[in-house]
Amino acid sequence: MHIKIYFNDKPLFLCDAIDPIVEPFMHHDDAVFIDELNVHTVKSMIHEMQLEKVHAGIFLHADLQELKDAFFKKFDLIQAGGGLIRNDKGETLLIFRRGKWDLPKGKLDDGETLEQCAVREVWEETGLQANLEAPLLVTYHTYHQGTHFIIKESHWYTMKVAGEHTLRPQTEEDIEEAKWVDDSSLSYYLPLAYPSIVDVLEAWLAK
Calculate helix-pair angle for 39-49, 64-72, nearest 10 degrees.
Answer: 70
Give pLDDT, residue 196.
94
DSSP state of 79: E
Q: Are residues 151 and 170 in the same domain?
A: yes
CA distance 19 to 57: 14
What 34-41 contacts at long range (C-beta under 8 Å, 24+ apart), as own/partner pairs, is 34/58, 34/59, 34/60, 35/59, 35/60, 35/61, 37/61, 37/66, 37/67, 37/70, 39/70
**Is the per-residue pLDDT at 141 higher than 80?**
yes
Domain coverage including residue 98: 77-205
pLDDT > 90 in the chain, percent: 85
pTM of the predicted protein model = 0.92
Phi-psi region of 167 (alpha: psi -120 to 50; beta: other; left: phi over 0): beta
Q: Are residues 59 and 83 in the same domain?
A: no
Identify the domain boundary among 41, 72, 103: 72
Q: How far is CA 127 from the centre of its chain?
A: 22
DSSP state of 97: E
Q: Are residues 107 and 59 in the same domain?
A: no
Q: Are residues 64 and 6 in the same domain?
A: yes
Band (pLDDT 50/70/90 cuts) for residue 166 is: confident
Q: Are residues 81 and 68 in the same domain?
A: no
Q: Are residues 196 and 128 in the same domain?
A: yes
Confirm if 83 and 122 have CB atoms less than 8 A apart.
yes
Give the closest residue to 173 by CA, choosing from 131, 124, 136. 124
**Is the per-residue pLDDT at 147 higher than 90?**
no
pLDDT tens, residue by residue, 5-39:
999 999 999 999 999 999 999 988 899 999 999 99
Q: Are residues 172 and 87 in the same domain?
A: yes
Q: How many CB atoms lie within 10 A of CB 179?
A: 14
Give pLDDT, residue 207.
77
Looking up residue 180, the CATH number of its domain turns out to be 3.90.79.10
Q: Are residues 87 and 145 in the same domain?
A: yes
**Is the per-residue pLDDT at 112 higher than 90?**
yes
Identify the domain boundary among 46, 72, 98: 72
Q: Are residues 30 and 99 in the same domain?
A: no
Confirm if 29 and 55 have CB atoms less than 8 A apart.
no
Q: Are residues 84 and 186 in the same domain?
A: yes
Identify the domain boundary among 23, 43, 72: 72
* Structural domain count of the chain: 2
Give pLDDT, residue 148.
86
Q: Are residues 13 and 66 in the same domain?
A: yes
**Is the per-residue pLDDT at 126 higher than 90?**
yes
Q: Which residue has the higher pLDDT, 70 or 173?
A: 70
Q: Are residues 26 and 124 in the same domain?
A: no
